[in-house]
Structure 1
Amino acid sequence: MIGIAILVIFLVFAGLMISGRLPALLSLPLMALSIALVAGIPGSEIISEVIEAGVLRLSSAYVSVIFGAILGQVMMTTGITEKIIKKAAELGGENRTLVSIVMCAATALLFTTLSGLGAIIMVGSIVLPILATVGVPAMVAAGSFLLSIGCGMAVNLTNWAYWTTLTNIQLSDIRGFSLVVVALTAMTALVYLFVELRRAENSRTAAWAMPASGEEIRSDAPWYSLITPLIPLVLVLGFKLPIVTAFICGIAYALLTTSRSVAQFVNTFSRCAFKGVSDAAPAVMLMISIGMVLKAVMHPAVAEALTGPLSAILPRGAVGYVLFFSVLAPLALYRGPLNMYGLGSGIVSLLSGLGVLPPLAITAGFLATERMQVIGDPTNTHNVWVANFTKVDVDKLTLKLLPYLWVLTAAVAVVAAIMFM
């Protein structure tokens, strides 16, 4: 009965988040406390284990978020981000398909390093008007931009830090899998572009009505500073450096290659450090809330109560595994139970400890459904901003992307089954 009551609590708070009546920032801590109380955890342990320890549960992940946000601010402040996009636009010329592909590639590259709504607004404010200028319809521009962000996010070091901290796996265990996810997401983005541009052409869909700014994108960043997004990635992948250290090296390289004096170096770093911490604050607060949920559901009393219900629904074989994460993929939307940035933050850790499936298979399954979340979830602030900026309805944008994301999630789940089952 206790296990059923805990699952009901999950559903109640999911409903509150989906309906918009309570934000995830409040829903998750309240969920953690409710679960702890229902499971009969003593008050002293709730304070020490759920609240205090929960706040610090994902500390290494949110430190990475902060340094990643600082690097993003440095790249934007010094003009590196703008110059990368400008060069990409020059390569595309006037051909809207070619321009779209090049813009997607540039955006994906940038978001291997960048993260957060501020970075998405900065990049989107440049990329989306360029797409409008060459006649790409609003829905196609918005969808391709979100797919490009998702492509880069699959190997974003901030995300890697969060996933590994959340699931207690090693970075080396999912590195190769993440690269496959990048390739599959890139293929999906290309298919989306070709299919939707052809449909728009056949139906004579009007080009995006929002006028381009017409302003020249200017930047004094030298050409050799443009490899900044690759610096942290190469250091982690090639030299096995820790993620925070890699971010610090990327920050230092960007500042050294764009600063004309020591004073400019210091001033730029100081400004970007404060702004980066500010940009990272919402994500950090959400991770603190997620940490409380993790500590609550991983408590022995809760784990024991949930073992029976969860073990009964988990698939045992590879085919069942693929069907489970493919068919149920939309449960990653609206911060649902397959969303690692929502209800799934507690479930993924709990499932990994049940022993029904290999921990890596559980993690990879959630990374498959993460494709649905990071690209298509209308509760993402970046989805809302992109929809507003391009003047399309955010729910219609999700519906447009849904078939592509469902196939992408299924493909990733198949790869996960092959690699980890």
Structure 2
Amino acid sequence: MQYVVGVLLLICFFGLIVYALKGGNLMFGILIMAVLWTAIPLIGNQLVTDPAFIAANADVINVGFKDTITKVFQSSPENWGKVLVTFIFGAWFGRVMLDTGIASAIIRKTVELGGDRPGITAALLYIVTAAIFTSMFGAGAVVAIGIIVLPILLSLGIPKILALISYMLAIGAGFYINPVGFAQYQVYYLDAAGNNTVFYDMTYLKWGFIALGIQLVVAVLFTCVQLRGKKAVHAWAAQATMPEETKHVPGIALITPFVPVILTIAFNWPIILGFLMAAFFAMAVCGEMKTYKDTVRMFSKTFFDGVVDTAPLVGISALIPMFNAASALCVPYFQALLGNVVPSSTLIICIVFMVIAPLGLFRGPLTLAGAGAATLGILKSLGFSNTFLFPLMYAPTVTMNISCCITQSWIVWGLTYTNVDGRDFLKRTIPTGWIICAILAALTFVMFGNV
């Protein structure tokens, strides 16, 4: 009977993949999966008769019906609340960066620094974009920075498709150490009690910084190779595309986007405190706190806008813990069905991920922003550590999905804004993302393959 239950669970898994690939509402799909992956094991627990199987999995099979549904549908989403708070404060900080004019001022200074060298200017813009998105978050921020950066890149003579691809790769590079992005996917790795098992610390960040560097180097090379032999474009051509700066931004304010990450990494301060200190620092030095009324107005407006920016993430992120808790109920059945089929070697798993990295596109089985939640559930059930699985799954999620996939909301905006055809975009970006993911899978094995 345990094999029958395992097959039914796999059918649900492939059903979610098909549903996601056809563009189904992912939030609703995750909810249905949580229900099915709870109901099927509960029924199976009553029907299995193999004494060895029951004895080996007594801690799961013998849990009562009420305790099980309480853990899945009540306790697990309640424990997720702390992640929601991180989302909100991170999005608020991003809004402060935009409304004070700091983000656009950083870009302006970068263009001036690049001078009459279009390749250098483009490279600096990608580096700055990645740096900004180590702390900023959300589609609103991507669009707000994009309407400044993309026209500059085009004015430098960079073909629009190359400018768009490199800009999106630079954003994704920053996400590798973005604490809000990390928190968004950290929730997929909670244990049965709702506690974190992977952390925003140097164990992960060593890998994250290397991943950032690899993707950023690819973004820079992607453009610079195309610019070889092209006629130099003068700096004023790029300057002409910059929007008029209506707010004075002092030089000291330009350090703002790096403050939260530095405080967290260097001093181990809480990330929310880092966002608070950086945001109020930005408002103070930019003259937005001259009076109590000005301070309250700026704080209220940016906080409200930040909450709106997080809205698309809140629903699905509240449901993911239910799915995680349901996945724990499926572990005995996946182990029975797949334990001798799926390789237990981290080396082989990493090689497989290198080969099938494009399955992170179109909300497929390798992206946690899609059907990858089910893939992760299966891999966890087979005994792979979360320390190993987090970077392994995070690479195709960030690179193939966030940076390269036309189902990503801000990439859809970018295609429309630059008038680039989606098929042409994919033809160029899939090989690039594939190379990055293959390198990162190898890096994951080197750093975490024996964990």
- Whether the TM-score (by the shorter chain) exceeds 0.5 is yes
Partners of 1:134 and 1:187 in 2: CA distance? 19
* Alpha-carbon displacement from aligned partner over 1:178-215 (angstroms, at most 9, x marks no partner): 1111111112112211234459x69xxxxxxxxx8664
Match of 1:256 in 2: 284
The verdict on how the C-alpha distance between 1:71 and 1:214 changes in structure 2, with shifts beyond 3 A counting, is closer
Q: RMSD between aligned alpha carbons? A: 2.3
Does 2:259 match 1:231?
Answer: yes
Partners of 1:53 and 1:350 in 2: CA distance? 22
Contact map agreement 1:83 1:218 (CA 8 A) in 2? no
Match of 1:62 in 2: 84
Does 2:177 match 1:133?
Answer: no
Match of 1:109 in 2: 131
Does 2:11 match 1:8?
Answer: yes
Match of 2:103 in 1: 81
* Alpha-carbon displacement from aligned partner over 1:350-398 (angstroms, at most 9, x marks no partner): 523532x343222221123232222112211111111111111234313
For 1:333, the aligned partner's letter is L
Q: Which aligned pairs between 1:12-161 and structure 2 lie closer than 5 A?
A: 12-20=15-23, 22-40=24-42, 44=66, 47-161=69-183
What stretches of structure 1 of length at least 5 have no aligned partner? Answer: 203-211
282-291 or 56-65: bigger deviation: 56-65
Partners of 1:6 and 1:113 in 2: CA distance? 38
Partners of 1:242 and 1:377 in 2: CA distance? 32
* Alpha-carbon displacement from aligned partner over 1:143-202 (angstroms, at most 9, x marks no partner): 011011011111101022234443222322211111111111112112211234459x69
Does 2:361 match 1:333?
Answer: yes
Question: What secondary structure is seen at the aligned counterpart in 2 of 1:220?
Answer: coil
The verdict on how the C-alpha distance between 1:73 and 1:261 changes in structure 2, with shifts beyond 3 A counting, is same
Contact map agreement 2:350 2:442 (CA 8 A) in 1? yes
The verdict on how the C-alpha distance between 1:401 and 1:310 changes in structure 2, with shifts beyond 3 A counting, is farther
Question: What secondary structure is seen at the aligned counterpart in 2 of 1:290?
Answer: helix
Does 2:431 match 1:403?
Answer: yes
* Alpha-carbon displacement from aligned partner over 1:282-313 (angstroms, at most 9, x marks no partner): 111121122222121122xx111122344345
Does 2:311 match 1:275?
Answer: no
Does 2:369 match 1:369?
Answer: no
Partners of 2:65 and 2:157 in 1: CA distance? 61
* Alpha-carbon displacement from aligned partner over 1:107-159 (angstroms, at most 9, x marks no partner): 11110111111101100011111112222111001101101101111110102
Match of 1:418 in 2: 446
What stretches of structure 2 of length at least 5 have no aligned partner? Answer: 44-63, 190-196, 232-239
Partners of 1:38 and 1:401 in 2: CA distance? 40
For 1:244, the aligned partner's letter is I
Does 2:399 match 1:388?
Answer: no
For 1:276, the aligned partner's letter is G
177-186 or 241-250: bigger deviation: 241-250
* Alpha-carbon displacement from aligned partner over 1:25-78 (angstroms, at most 9, x marks no partner): 221112211222222368745752332234334322222111100000111111
Contact map agreement 1:53 1:295 (CA 8 A) in 2? no
Of 171, 179, 182, which residue of structure 1 is paired with 2:212?
A: 182
Partners of 1:310 and 1:196 in 2: CA distance? 47
Partners of 2:403 and 2:358 in 1: CA distance? 12
Partners of 2:179 and 2:142 in 1: CA distance? 16
Question: What secondary structure is seen at the aligned counterpart in 2 of 1:171?
Answer: coil
Of 226, 247, 250, which residue of structure 1 is paired with 2:275?
A: 247
Question: What secondary structure is seen at the aligned counterpart in 1 of 2:382?
Answer: coil
The verdict on how the C-alpha distance between 1:404 and 1:361 changes in structure 2, with shifts beyond 3 A counting, is same
Question: What secondary structure is seen at the aligned counterpart in 2 of 1:337?
Answer: coil
Partners of 1:368 and 1:145 in 2: CA distance? 18
Q: How many residues are aligned here?
A: 407
> Which has the larger Rg?
2
Match of 2:324 in 1: 294
Contact map agreement 1:310 1:351 (CA 8 A) in 2? no
Match of 2:49 in 1: none
Contact map agreement 1:57 1:295 (CA 8 A) in 2? no
Partners of 1:335 and 1:57 in 2: CA distance? 26
